[in-house]
């Protein structure tokens, strides 16, 4: 092959193996396109989006719970922190760390006789907001042939001090901390907590919910009237107090139903309502 023939052949081969940057779009269209099976980098709204989108979740119903204020993790430590703000005072968190001030007195205290309770039970004080549900609960336990008495209801800061001192003298300070609240820390100061008992049962070391028909009725039915057992048998870690099957706190029927569904001790349940 002559030198000139060799150069002509090389030029033809080079032209066939290269692509001109100015080639028309139609020339490339004849080639088979390569398309990714999944294109995560494309717009979700683009026509070529191949990744299926999850179904849209319906909007969740509004709830009163706020979860907006952090609470101390070690709430079983005895101190006197101001009770955190809540969306409603009946949902206040009180424990061995959080307390009400001495001058905190409910403005609507009335005699429990307003709920139909008689004798010594009728002389106890409760908040007026509790009366209708307390009256309905009383009617229900009477219809069941049961007699339930109020042993205690509202207790002032000073009154709680007397109660705690009595327990301390009886069983010692450390044991008293598990059986009774220090002044300011008691739910009784809210005016929405009651201690209940029945004829023939006495003492504060037995299991009223098991040892009496009245206690069993309260454990099974009180929630329907807005009353919740604050210190259940398995709740020491969450409540920081011992088992009190006689102590019930009114939080309203709706909240009591939610509490029952949650399966949480009352102290843990009330955490969700902290905040303003």
pLDDT at 205: 66
Which residues, including other chains, have CB under 8 Å from residue 232's CB and lie 6 or more apart? 239, 243, 265
Q: Over the stretch 94-121, which tens digit does the pLDDT of each residue have?
A: 999 999 999 999 999 999 999 999 999 9
What does R_g of the chain's alpha carbons equal in angstroms? 36
Positive or negative, the CA dihedral 212, 213, 219, 222 is negative
Buried b / exposed e across 246-260, counting CB within 10 Å, b at 16+?
bbbbbbbeebbebbe
The CA-based angle 218-224-230, given to 5 degrees, is: 55
Architecture of domain 81-273: 2-Layer Sandwich (3.30)
What distance in Å separates the CA atoms of residue 244 and residue 261, rounded to the nearest whole number? 21
Q: Over the stretch 39-64, which tens digit does the pLDDT of each residue have?
A: 333 333 333 333 344 444 344 334 34
What distance in Å separates the CA atoms of residue 231 and residue 248, rounded to the nearest whole number? 8
- pLDDT less than 50: residues of the chain: 1-68
């Amino acid at each position: 092959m002559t030198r000139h023939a060799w150069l002509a052949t090389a030029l033809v081969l080079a032209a066939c193996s290269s692509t001109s940057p100015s080639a028309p779009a139609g020339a490339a269209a004849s080639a088979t396109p390569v398309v990714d099976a999944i294109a995560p980098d494309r717009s979700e709204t683009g026509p070529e989006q191949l990744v299926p989108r999850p179904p849209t979740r319906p909007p969740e119903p509004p709830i009163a719970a706020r979860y907006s204020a952090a609470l101390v993790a070690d709430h079983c430590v005895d101190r006197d922190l101001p009770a955190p703000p809540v969306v409603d005072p009946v949902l206040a968190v009180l424990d061995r760390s959080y307390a009400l001030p001495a001058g905190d007195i409910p403005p609507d205290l009335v005699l429990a006789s307003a709920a139909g309770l008689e004798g010594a039970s009728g002389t106890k004080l409760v908040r007026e907001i509790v009366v209708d549900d307390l009256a309905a609960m009383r009617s229900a336990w009477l219809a069941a042939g049961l007699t339930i008495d109020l042993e205690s209801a509202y207790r002032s800061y000073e009154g709680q001090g007397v109660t705690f001192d009595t327990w301390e003298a009886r069983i010692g300070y450390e044991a008293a901390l598990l059986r009774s609240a220090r002044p300011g820390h008691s739910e009784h100061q809210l005016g929405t907590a009651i201690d209940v008992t029945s004829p023939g049962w006495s003492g504060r070391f037995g299991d009223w919910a098991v040892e009496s028909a009245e206690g069993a009725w309260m454990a099974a039915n009180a929630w329907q009237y807005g009353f919740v057992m604050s210190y259940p048998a398995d709740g020491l870690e969450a409540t920081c107090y011992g088992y009190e099957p006689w102590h019930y706190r009114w939080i309203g029927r709706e909240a009591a139903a939610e509490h029952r569904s949650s399966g949480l001790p009352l102290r843990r349940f009330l955490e969700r309502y902290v905040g303003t």
